[in-house]
Amino acid sequence: MIFHRSKWARPVALLTVLAVVSSCGLPQVGPNKRQIFAGSVQRQGDSFIVAVNDRVTRATSVVPALGFSDSLKNAGRLGSDTIQPGDVLGLTIYENVDDPLLGVEGSPATQLEEVQVDGSGFIFIPYAGRIKASGNTPEAIRRIITAKLADQTPDPQVEVRRVAGDGSTVSLIGAVGGQGVYAIERPTRTLGAMLARAGGVTIAPEIAQITVIRGTARGKIWLQDLYDHPELDIALRAGDRILIEEDTRAFTALGATGGQARVPFESQNMSALEAIARVGGLNPATADPTGIFVMRNEEAPIANSVLGRNDLQGAQRLVYVLDLTQPNGMFEARDFLIRDGDTLYVTEAPYTQFTKILSALTGPAGSVNSLASLAGN
């Protein structure tokens, strides 16, 4: 018996082989679109799949709220000469007598150097007693001492000066030109002036954050906001601690992108389009521009707003889908904000997997020619 080869024999055989090879689990950078959609809540999964549009973009445009409390912003500036506990004073007392009360005979001027204000705000002056110094200016202290000595020595003349001490100081640490302890003086009574006094910040201004700790109060702002909003240039207080640090937010990029990495933020806000650009854009050989996913654990209030519900509680897994081939796809990607901890994932184009199958059958070279040969008559 003679068998005639059907013209469909080779194509059928090719398809059979392709099916067998594809079922063997070829390598891929991650799940494809079909596999991601299979994990949606609508298909008994645990993630909500949401196509990005203008409404979704508005609902998810949440930026970390940074700022100072009213107690920090409303504190008035200290007088440049206001004495604080821990400050050191220098006193000179002149007596118009040959036998002075405080000094030695023949020396009308008595020097009292490095008189430190104690923790309760007082100083002790011989024959004048214990005097409240904290909260007063050197001029006010001079008048108090003069009045107390006037009953014991004729027409005393008193000079009081503030020496740099431990009372009116702040500490600066972190990414600043000169870390250390600085006295609050007339030119450096505000946050911005003190930063300048310490040499400025040593990291990019766009990602620099300033934390001020005063007792139990704490506030954090962006460096740029310090100069954009004058009310944030707060008055300093003795004991303030100022920390300059780099923004620690980051997102993770995976899939068919120019690079796969954990990527730190370089500005206060970052869009999905900027995030793609940060990792070298889409891989032109493998990326599917219709399958760009942003995976995020969304807080319940935002998740309810995005999904049009009010019954969700706790963090929800949301997967936002961007399609750059749509008429407004690029605009949507430009406006959609990336947040700390997001995963940006780009799927491979369907033909990429098909090419891998051909390569597995015929080797890396000549896949197209091999396909034509297998399917030829």
Structure token pair of residue 355:
């090419």
Angle at which helices 9-22 and 350-362 cross, to 10°:
110
> Which domains, ranges and CATH numbers included, belong to the chain?
21-63+250-363 (3.10.560.10), 70-78+168-246 (3.10.560.10), 88-162 (3.30.1950.10)
Q: How far apart are CA 123 and CA 165, in angstroms?
A: 14
Check residue 252 and give its pLDDT.
Answer: 97
Q: How confident is the model at residue 360 (pLDDT cuts 50, 70, 90)?
A: low
pTM here?
0.69
**185-204 pLDDT tens trace:** 778 889 999 999 999 999 99
**75-97 pLDDT tens trace:** 877 665 678 787 888 899 888 87
